[in-house]
Amino acid sequence: MSNKKFFLYSLVASIVVLGACSKQVSNSTGWNYNDSRNGGFQKYDDYYEQETGPGLVLVEGGSFMMGQVQQDVMYDWNNMSRKVSVSSFYMDETEVRNLDYREYLHWISRVFSENRAVYWAALPDTLVWRNKLAYNEPMVEHYFRHPAYQNYPVVGVSWLQASDYCIWRTDRVNERILIREGILNENIDQSGIENFNTEAYLNGLYEGSVRANVQDFNPNNSEGTRPVRMEDGILLPKYRLPTEAEWEFAALALIGNSIDERIYERRIFPWNGHYTRNPAVKQRGKMMANFTRGRGDQMGVAGRLNDAADITAPVLSYWPNDYGLYCMAGNVNEWVLDVYRSYSFDDVNEFRPFRGNVFTKFELGEEGQGTFAERDSLGRMVRVPITTEDGFGRTNYRQADNINYLDGDRQSTINYQDELAEDATEVAGSTLMYQQRDTPEELYAAEGWFTLVNDHSRVYKGGGWKDRAYYLSPGSRRFLDERKAADDLGFRCAMTRVGKPTAY
């Protein structure tokens, strides 16, 4: 054998030996990871750190005083101060724009071309601009569609529509990641139920156009490859609406007012000081947010418009707060995840506070525990509330719906009346908020009284272009039925931060 051949054989042998020696070993069992001869348990480190999804900014969590930071001029008494802790999470740098929402509608129109009801259900309500004593028809016709407004925040979107947008965005982002990593092919022929959904993909109900699945070391898998799992760390957690605590924490951005563990100044607004004008020398006197300065003053005097916006403003207007988030005060109010209760601050947990939990599980097929039910008409897996049997013996929860847990308000448990227009009494052309019944028992019946504070009432925060400065404070809170919309109400998405709370 020549010296050259001997050198090559020796090099190959060395690589094989080094490869065998470099395998990671379990601290628990001593067996190799990622080795089919050891059973094939896989451990991946390539995606150990969560990547930042499109449009998101990391909000490093911590403890803060949630609630009132100014005089309660409305006497709502619904935001009493309390110290809570919020885990790190991601939030959209800006409010969701008209352009973003039109992209969503375009996808729906293309994929569900044979089911137009899906498209119509997702459309924002442009009629929210109408006013009986104002000429707002131009906004009805142009605000959502005209390119001049494409970078303005989308409005006229209900809480339910915003939540559906979050689901769609999760799926599109994760599908793009799988395409980027060479696992799936581009597939513009998706139609109807056969469209990429993250949960359906992870649970084997959607395959897609596969380019190259990941390597599988399981010796029982003759194919040697498999679809991506959550354990691989490739896919991102879901986009969702932020909780009220998360939103308020991100808006205050007290990270800019802290030294070590000491917060040296609280904030009324997402910036320092009690003024709504910029104190910086070069920007002195300019408005910090888009809101109504006084009665009839939506934008100031011609030649010196105070906030340079008659209605909403482009989402990158004004100055970001210390987390880099724009328009966390003014422009449009924003939906959050929570169900409204006036005393939630007294009730909710001090860690990751939230009211609105309805615990669910995937619906199983008729064949038993090993199969899932068929996907719904949108291609999503079907979720159903957990049963009392599921919660039996647990100490942390017993039932699915925990919205009313410890809310202390008997009236808030009354069933909400969907048939408002049919059931309510008409008096002088107006609808009564409450309807009297003959007996107290009937008060809680399906056709009894109802209240606007109910399990369908969702919190919104931040103040909008029609609001006074009072509502620009992150601690202020209001509510609206989750099926309603307004011309000064939009939203932005959030995402859970997995793993360590810092990015360094």
Of 282, 277, 280, 288, whose CA–CA distance to 321 is shortest?
288
| CA pseudo-torsion sign 95, 169, 120, 483 | negative
Total structural domains in the chain?
Answer: 1
Please count the other Cβ atoms lying within 10 Å of the Cβ belonging to residue 449.
17
Would you say residue 369 lies in a domain? no
Flag whether 193 is in a domain. Answer: no
DSSP E strand boundaries for 302-444 = 304-305, 333-339, 360-362, 383-385, 426-427, 430-431
Residue 340 lies in a domain: yes
CATH number at residue 238: 3.90.1580
Per-block mean pLDDT, blocks of 10 residues, the chain (504 long): 46 42 80 88 80 96 91 85 95 98 97 94 97 96 97 97 97 97 94 95 94 92 92 95 97 89 85 80 79 85 82 94 95 97 88 95 79 92 93 90 79 44 40 42 53 88 94 94 96 96 82
- Please check whether residue 398 lies inside any domain of the structure: no
What's the CA gap between 321 and 472, in Å, rounded?
Answer: 13
Residue 376 included in any domain: no
Query: Are 69 and 263 in contact, with CB atoms under 8 Å apart?
Result: no
CA distances to 45, 216, 237, 250, 503 from 58, in Å:
22, 33, 14, 10, 8
What pLDDT sits at residue 265?
A: 82
**Is residue 333, in this structure, part of any structural domain at all?**
yes
Q: Residue 56 falls within a domain, yes or no? A: no
In a domain, 85, yes or no: no
Q: Please report, to the nearest 10 degrees, the dihedral formed by the alpha carbons of residues 124, 129, 131, 137 taken in order.
A: -110
Residue 210 has what pLDDT? 94
CA 197/CA 194 separation, integer angstroms: 9
Question: In whole angstroms, what separates CA 288 from the centre of its chain?
Answer: 26
Range of the domain at 308: 98-181+234-357+410-414+451-496
- What is the rounded (10 degree) CA torsion for 126, 131, 137, 139? -50
